[in-house]
């Protein structure tokens, strides 16, 4: 591949909750033959479940752990999927400007089918989780667009096709 141990191939995926960053990211990593890191999973593995971190220590503490996880993962290379709120941090955005970044966007209709289940502390206990998702996405959209080199809508296309498009795009980056 076009990477070396000194400068490993890196590709960062950003976007809102339920955009498919983890699913697409795993497939892209396989296609590029590089490691895959989900920074939310890394934080959870090292510090415990994210909903518990939010409940016991607050969002600010979680964001500090997230910033560290993002910096470590990006430094190691491969395909890195960031939690939806990671772009809120100015230091993280500055770091992302030095790497190829894909913004995975998604329609509210597609999100409605995807946001079931637990593990999304910012949607927990909401009367209308979809409306809360829209508010959060609207607040963060500018940051996603700021760091993105490519934007891909995941609403209706098969994950495999999305992954192939992103992997092909990354192979053509210098």
Task: Tell me the C-alpha to C-alpha distance, in Å, between residue 91 and each of 55, 65, 96, 102.
Answer: 25, 13, 9, 18
Say what the pLDDT of residue 123 is.
Answer: 53
Inform me whether the pLDDT recorded for 22 exceeds 70: yes
Mean pLDDT over 86-104 rounds to 96
Find tokens 């190829």 and name the residue: 100
What confidence score (pLDDT) does residue 130 get?
A: 77
- Whether 136 contacts 16, CB under 8 Å: yes
Mean pLDDT over 89-115 rounds to 90
| Each residue's pLDDT tens digit, 111-163 | 877 665 544 555 555 567 778 888 989 999 999 999 999 999 999 999 999 99
CA of residue 59 relative to chain centroid, distance? 17
The pLDDT confidence band at residue 12, using thresholds 50, 70 and 90, is: very high
Instruction: Kindly give the residue spans of alpha helices, DSSP state H, lying in 48-171.
Output: 50-76, 90-96, 108-114, 129-147, 159-171
Alpha carbons 35 and 80: distance in angstroms, whole number = 8
d(CA 128, CA 55): 20
Q: Are 104 and 24 in contact (CB under 8 A)?
A: yes
Q: Which range, of 24-28, 111-115, 147-151, 165-169, averages the lowest pLDDT?
A: 111-115
Task: Say if residue 34's pLDDT is above 50.
Answer: yes
| Torsion of the alpha carbons at 47, 48, 49 and 55, rounded to the nearest 10 | -80
Instruction: Tell me the mean pLDDT in the region 15-40.
Output: 95
List all residues 6 or more positions away from 130 whose beta carbon is below 8 Å from its beta carbon.
108, 111, 112, 115
| pLDDT per position as a tens digit, 43-89 | 999 999 988 998 899 989 999 999 999 999 999 999 999 999 999 99
């Amino acid at each position: 591949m076009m990477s070396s141990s000194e400068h490993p191939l890196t590709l960062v995926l950003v976007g809102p909750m339920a955009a498919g960053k983890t699913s697409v990211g795993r497939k892209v990593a396989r296609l590029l033959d590089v490691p895959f890191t989900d920074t939310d999973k890394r934080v959870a593995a090292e510090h415990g479940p994210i909903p518990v971190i939010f409940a016991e220590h607050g969002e600010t503490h979680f964001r500090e752990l997230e910033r560290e996880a993002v910096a470590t993962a990006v430094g190691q290379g491969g395909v890195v999927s960031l939690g939806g709120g990671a772009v809120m941090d100015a230091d993280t955005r500055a770091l992302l400007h030095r790497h190829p970044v894909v913004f995975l966007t998604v329609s509210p209709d597609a999100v409605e089918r995807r946001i079931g289940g637990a593990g999304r502390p910012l949607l927990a206990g909401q009367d209308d989780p979809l409306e809360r998702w829209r508010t959060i996405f609207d607040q963060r959209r500018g940051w996603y667009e700021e760091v993105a080199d490519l934007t891909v809508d995941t609403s209706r296309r098969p994950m495999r096709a999305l992954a192939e498009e992103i992997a092909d795009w990354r192979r053509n980056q210098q």
